[in-house]
Amino acid sequence: MRKKGFAIIGSVAVILMFLAPGCGKNDETRETAPAADSTAATPVLGEGDTLLSVTLIMDKIAGGSLNWNVGKREYEPGRMTLNGVTIMPALRYPTVTETDLEIAEFDETDGTETDLSGTVLAEMYEKEYLEPVTVAKIVFENVTDPAILKAILEKEDYESTVPARLAERIVLTGARQTVEGDKINRDTVLDEIVLENAGFSAALPDTTTGAWGFARNFVASRVAWTGGEFTFETLNDRDKVKGTISTGSGEMTDLSFAGDFGKTGDPADILMSYSAGASFGRDFKVDIDDFEKTRLELSVANFVAEGIGGFQNHEKSEISDFRVKLSTDGSDIPESIELALAKFAMNGFDYTEGLKRKIAAVKEFVENDFDDEVFLDTTTWDTFLTYPYDLASASLEGLELKASDGFAFGVAEASLEGPISAFKLSSSKTKAKGVTIAIPKKSDKRYMDGIIETAEFLGKNDFEIGLDAETVYDEAANTTSFALNDFTVKDLFRAGGRLVLEGMNQELADFLSEIPVRNVSLGLIFSPQVSGLGVKEYSVNYKDDSLADTLVRRAAEREGEDPASLRESLSRELPENFKEKLLYDYQIEVNEGFADAIAKFLADPGEFTLTVAPIQSVSPISGIGFEDPFASPQVIAASLNITLSANGGPAENLVATGLPTANPLAN
């Protein structure tokens, strides 16, 4: 089935693979087919082998699986027009069979005959013809000298050391493939596709041998298309689905297939290796309906990109006016959910390394009969420390999600700034402005129960949120810090915090990249790389707007108490309970100043800052072993250097004992 799918792709002779907009750039440079030389003599078409050479070249590009039938040919200087073309794609595969041959060798000198009959292994090629592709007209302008094409065709593998252009311009009009099957009907239509300076680059050092080597080295300076549409409908009454995928128009420049994935020689990998200098696409739409429960409608008004290739390099890309509408029967989720995105932009994105890992994991998953535990063996611990892609920056504007039950979510602006490197510790900044959430006052959907209850408790149904966070990897200091610079929920609170980890470095990430997540042992925990990881600093700050008052008021209403009386009792009792808990359960005597800071905030909620700054980083094994096995909990608590300040007051230590000169926590 997989090979059949790629034979169909190849069958349209690079027609259908240009339906989806996209483009790219690869690190490996390659020489493209030369542009037309206007001063050169125009080749005179119409020679007997011109059409044969052209069709055989196209057959080579498609993996040797096409059969051509031309209704009418028209020749004029510099132009060949084929009308009423039918391209019959086929699966072409070798079969090896034992064959009985009766062979006799005749010697003319003496008239004797020698019997050479016997059983031999014969390799033959069989073809299974698929549904035809019809093309109303194909125009070739300034086709390369047939003698040059013939020289290329004489090679079983693509070995050309210089670029070779097939034609200056190829225009296909009215391409169509219609399939009427037992399980599905489908129809693919392309109004027009234009290829300029289509041909072959000089053979890459890693060029695939055999027919697909020609596809690997195919290039074109420009590819443009209009009016592409794919429709399908399943014929199973139980799970009937119909759909349409269409694109208004698009263009790609400097197309090639030189990406890393193509080195395998697999047709799918070659297609994933496409790249181009720039491209755009307009009016991309998807409409899928299962007739009973769900209908999905998706559209993209405009897509513009520079230096993009498959799932690999994305130098710059931008999508505008992206819309999705999901309609359901409303049994589990709202009857209608609509998503709109005004703009999404991305720079310097490269998922090559991450995709390689993912493909390898999926392959092993399939080879092991879809055993879920395989993912535990193919997912490594570094996944939780690093990103699987390169990214310079990404941003979005005008995100709106609306549900028919009244729930809504929106983002005015959001951004992620790198640079981020795949599987490397990286620094980044994340910001979001104008994040809004609207919660309905009632809904018949069960999943909304907890959300509506929370909104009722807070006395708010509309929320506005802001976010500013960053991650900083400092190789020189051997630290990675995570900072929540600002997290604000308007009219409720503002919060922030910072966590600094010592020993979270690239050496640790590389070490964990070799260890599956299922492999957790004491040996791993006590390894030099992991045991060197420790908390160097931790802090959290909070500024209240109305959240504390709301919580106290709601709690008082439930208990039938006066809010002022409840706040007074909380500010008096909680600090005392906290002191008693640490004293009787952990033998830690709490400093009165620390308890007073708690009481001060509870009596008049304003702001507080809690800081943990241990005299030496606290490692994962700190709770297991001690430098001083007889160190008291009081001394250990003092070593953590925990302080609290409230409402502008001084920072108070958790314990009154002075800081020890040596850290009792093992590191």
Each residue of 542-595: pLDDT tens digit? 999 999 999 999 889 888 889 899 999 999 999 999 999 999 998 899 999 999
Lowest mean pLDDT among 364-378, 562-576, 601-615: 364-378
pLDDT of residue 291: 63
The per-residue pLDDT for 86 is 86
pLDDT at 5: 40
Average pLDDT for residues 389-403, to the nearest whole number? 94
Specify the pLDDT at position 121: 44
Residue 57 banded pLDDT, cuts 50, 70, 90 = low
Return the higher-pLDDT residue of 611 and 295.
Answer: 611
- For the segment 378-398, the average pLDDT, to the nearest whole number, is 88
- Torsion angle (degrees, nearest 10) of CA 545, 547, 552, 557: 120
- pLDDT tens per residue, range 175-187: 999 988 778 888 9
CB 223 within 8 A of CB 194: yes
Q: What is the pLDDT of residue 270?
A: 66
Binned at pLDDT 50, 70 and 90, residue 420 comes out as very high
**Greater pLDDT, 42 or 179:** 179
Residue 649 — very low, low, confident or very high, per pLDDT cuts 50/70/90?
Answer: very high
For residue 11, pLDDT beyond 90: no
Q: Is the dihedral of CA 216, 219, 223, 227 positive or negative?
A: negative
Tell me if the bond preceding 146 is cis, omega within 30° of 0.
no
Give the whole-angstrom CA distance, residue 116 versus residue 119: 10
CB 467 within 8 A of CB 437: no
pLDDT for res 624: 37
Q: State the average pLDDT over residues 129-152.
A: 79
Which residue would you say has higher pLDDT here, 435 or 209?
435
pLDDT tier for residue 539 given thresholds of 50, 70 and 90? very high
Least confident of 36-50, 289-303, 396-410, 547-561: 36-50
pLDDT band at 439 (very low <50, low <70, confident <90, very high): very high
Better pLDDT: 430 or 511: 430
Task: Select, from the ranges 478-492, 524-538, 606-620, 630-644, the one with the highest average predicted confidence (pLDDT).
Answer: 478-492
Give me the mean pLDDT over the 216-245 stretch: 86
With beta carbons less than 8 A apart as the criterion, state whether 620 and 533 touch. yes
Ranked by mean pLDDT, the top range of 96-100, 326-330, 336-340, 637-641 is: 336-340
Q: Look up residue 217 and give its two tokens.
A: 């080295």
- Name the band, by pLDDT with cuts 50, 70 and 90, for residue 523: low
Does residue 157 have a pLDDT over 70? no
- pLDDT score of 393: 93
pLDDT, residue 29, reads 34
Query: What pTM value is reported for the model?
Result: 0.77
Report in angstroms the alpha-carbon separations of 60 from 209, 521, 532, 619: 12, 55, 58, 62
Q: Which H or E run includes 2?
A: helix 2-11
More confident residue, 206 or 217: 217
Report pLDDT digits (tens) over 244-266.
999 999 898 888 877 666 666 66
Q: What is the mean pLDDT of residues 136-155?
A: 76
pLDDT at 202: 75
Whether the per-residue pLDDT at 328 is higher than 60: the answer is yes
Of the pLDDT bands very low, low, confident and very high (cuts 50, 70, 90), residue 34 is very low
Q: What confidence tier does 410 reach under pLDDT thresholds 50, 70, 90?
A: very high
**500 vs 510: CA distance, rounded Å:** 20
Amino acid found at 366: V
The rounded mean pLDDT for the chain is 78
Task: Give the residue, 315 or 14, on which the prediction is more confident.
Answer: 315
Handedness of CA 411, 389, 419, 315 (dihedral sign): negative
Written as six digits, the tokens of 506 are 């690239």
- Tell me the mean pLDDT in the region 289-317: 79
Whether 358 has a pLDDT exceeding 70, the answer reads yes
**Predicted local confidence at residue 31, as pLDDT:** 37
Q: What percent of the chain has pLDDT over 70?
A: 72
pLDDT over 90 (residue 307)? no
Q: Does 15 score more than 80 pLDDT? A: no
Mean pLDDT value of segment 305-310? 74
The pLDDT > 90 percentage for the chain reads 32
Task: Using DSSP, state whether 584 is helix, strand or coil.
Answer: helix
Exposure pattern of 57-90 as b/e (b: 16+ CB <10 Å)? Answer: bbbbbbbbbbebebeeeeeeebbbbbeebebbbb
Please give the average per-residue pLDDT across 273-300, as a whole number. Answer: 83
pLDDT at position 35: 39
Q: Is the pLDDT of residue 139 over 80?
A: yes
Report the pLDDT averaged over residues 530-550. 91
